[in-house]
């Protein structure tokens, strides 16, 4: 058996087309959805990612501004800038690219963003809304994973989902979204005693660790759905996920590639959240 591929590029393209369509409707009402991305420092990967995000936005008709600051920017100045963006009615979404320079407290920075403009879904109020099932922005990566499951018509109710990783931006919100769809959810992490024993029971596995080959063929139940969030480099410098793709695809029913899987979906869901923020602001 060879797993079917869930094509993140194709699905993201479809979502961007829907965003473009809804953006047209807002523009017809005189509202220009606007995302401001704040990049502090000159981390090369962050520069590439933020450039991608600006291009995605402008291609779908959303306005996007990239604000760049030197790594030496004082935290207080960044907080002041965020407060000004919060108060600016023309700005609907604010994204502060992570990681931030070491002298900054990332959670303090994120908590300064207005929850109404928190299109990353990283604010504690956004997290609380997800926990309690109230309206709020969902973190883009797990949100994109849910869209991928939806795209294959996967019924989560009664299924066992295993999430590997428990970060605030991927693993934990992923588990909550799966739970909300009535899956039985197990969360694994670095202290999990026998990871394979957990994943072998899973109908759905989400790998969000940041280490190559965390999930290998012998750890996967035949026919399972495998979503690979990881972004790593192999010894040749090639982008790869957390999943041993060539091995696992022989066992799984569905699998996402890296690149071209969850990554493009993360970017697409940022556009969805930004549009949503503009729609809510418009009433």
Ligand X SMILES: NC(=O)C1=CN([C@@H]2O[C@H](COP(=O)(O)OP(=O)(O)OC[C@H]3O[C@@H](n4cnc5c(N)ncnc54)[C@H](OP(=O)(O)O)[C@@H]3O)[C@@H](O)[C@H]2O)C=CC1
Ligand Y SMILES: Nc1nc(=O)c2c([nH]1)NC[C@@H]1CN(c3ccc(C(=O)N[C@@H](CCC(=O)O)C(=O)O)cc3)C=[N+]21
Q: Which residues are annotated as a binding site for NADP(+)?
A: 165-167
34, 53, 221, 244: which one is catalytic? 53
Q: Pick one of ligand Y, ligand X, none as the site partner of residue 61 (Cβ within 5 to 8 A by kind).
A: none
Q: Which two tokens stand for residue 102?
A: 């070491």
What is the secondary structure of 256-274 as a DSSP string? --SSSSHHHHHHHHHHHHH
Stretch that binds ligand X, among 128-136, 202-210, 218-226, 274-282 (CB under 6 A): 202-210
Contacts of 217 (CB under 8 A, 6+ apart): 244, 247, 248, 250, 251
How big, in percent rounded to 5, are the helix, strand and coil portions of the chain?
Answer: 45, 15, 40
Alpha-carbon span 160 to 179, nearest angstrom? 10
Reduced to 3 states (helix: H, G, I; strand: E, B; else coil), residue 113 is coil
Q: Pick one of ligand Y, ligand X, none as the site partner of residue 197 (Cβ within 5 to 8 A by kind).
A: none
Q: Pick one of ligand Y, ligand X, none as the site partner of residue 210 (Cβ within 5 to 8 A by kind).
A: ligand X
Q: Which two tokens stand for residue 144?
A: 């994109």
27 has catalytic annotation: no
Of 1, 152, 239, 282, the residue at the interface with ligand Y (CB under 6 A) is 239
Site mask for ligand X (CB under 6 A), range 222-261, x = bound: -------xxxx-----------------------------
56, 117, 118, 120: which one is catalytic? 120
Q: Give long-range contacts, CB 8 A cutoff, 24+ apart: 188-191.
A: 188/162, 188/163, 188/164, 189/164, 189/165
Q: Contacts with ligand X: how many residues (CB under 6 A)? A: 26
201 vs 232, beta carbon nearer ligand X? 232
- Asked whether the beta carbons of 216 and 199 are under 8 A apart, the reply is no
Site mask for ligand Y (CB under 6 A), range 177-206, x = bound: ------------------------------
Q: Which has the closest alpha carbon to 135: 156, 121, 146?
A: 121
Of 28, 76, 87, 191, the residue at the interface with ligand X (CB under 6 A) is 191
56 has catalytic annotation: no
Site mask for ligand X (CB under 6 A), range 111-150, x = bound: ------------------------------x---------
Q: Which has the closest alpha carbon to 2: 257, 248, 179?
A: 248
63 vs 230, beta carbon nearer ligand Y? 230
Rg of the chain over CA atoms, in angstroms? 19
Angle at 155 between CA 152 and CA 160, to 5 degrees: 115
Of 1, 182, 190, 234, the residue at the interface with ligand X (CB under 6 A) is 190
213 makes contact with ligand X (CB under 6 A): no
Angle at 270 between CA 49 and CA 265, to 5 degrees: 75
Question: Shortest approach of ligand X to residue 162 CB, angstroms?
Answer: 11
120 has catalytic annotation: yes
What is the secondary structure of 227-251 as a DSSP string? EE---EE-TTS-EE-SB-HHHHTTT
- Which residues are catalytically annotated? 53, 97, 120
Contact residues for ligand X, defined by CB under 6 A: 141, 164-167, 169-171, 188-192, 195, 208-211, 214, 229-232, 262-263, 266
Contact residues for ligand Y, defined by CB under 6 A: 49, 95-98, 120, 140, 231, 239, 258-260, 263-264, 266-267
């Amino acid at each position: 058996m060879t797993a079917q591929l869930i094509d993140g590029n194709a699905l993201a393209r479809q979502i961007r087309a829907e965003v473009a369509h809804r953006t047209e409707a807002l523009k017809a009402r005189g509202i220009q959805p606007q995302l401001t991305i704040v990049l502090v420092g000159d981390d090369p990967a962050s520069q590439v990612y933020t450039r991608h995000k600006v291009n995605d936005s402008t291609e779908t008709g959303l306005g996007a501004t990239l604000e760049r600051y030197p790594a030496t920017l004082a935290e207080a100045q960044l907080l002041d800038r965020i407060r000004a963006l919060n108060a600016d009615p023309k700005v609907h979404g604010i994204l502060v690219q992570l990681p931030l320079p070491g002298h900054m407290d990332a959670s303090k920075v994120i908590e300064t963003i207005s929850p109404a403009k928190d299109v990353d879904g990283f604010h504690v109020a956004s997290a609380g809304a997800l926990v309690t099932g109230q309206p709020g922005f969902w973190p883009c990566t797990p949100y994109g994973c849910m869209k991928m499951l939806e795209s294959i018509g996967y019924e989560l109710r009664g299924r066992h989902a295993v999430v590997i990783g428990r970060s605030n931006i991927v693993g934990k919100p992923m588990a909550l979204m799966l739970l909300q769809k009535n899956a039985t959810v197990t969360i694994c992490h670095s202290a999990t005693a026998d990871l394979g024993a957990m994943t072998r029971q899973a109908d759905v596995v989400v790998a969000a660790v940041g280490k190559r080959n965390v999930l290998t063929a012998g750890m996967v139940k035949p026919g399972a759905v495998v979503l690979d969030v990881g972004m790593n480099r192999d010894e040749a410098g090639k982008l790869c996920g957390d999943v041993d793709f060539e091995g696992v695809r022989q066992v799984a029913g569905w699998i996402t590639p890296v690149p071209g899987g969850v990554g493009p979906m993360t970017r697409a869901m940022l556009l969805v959240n930004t549009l949503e923020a503009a729609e809510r602001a418009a009433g």
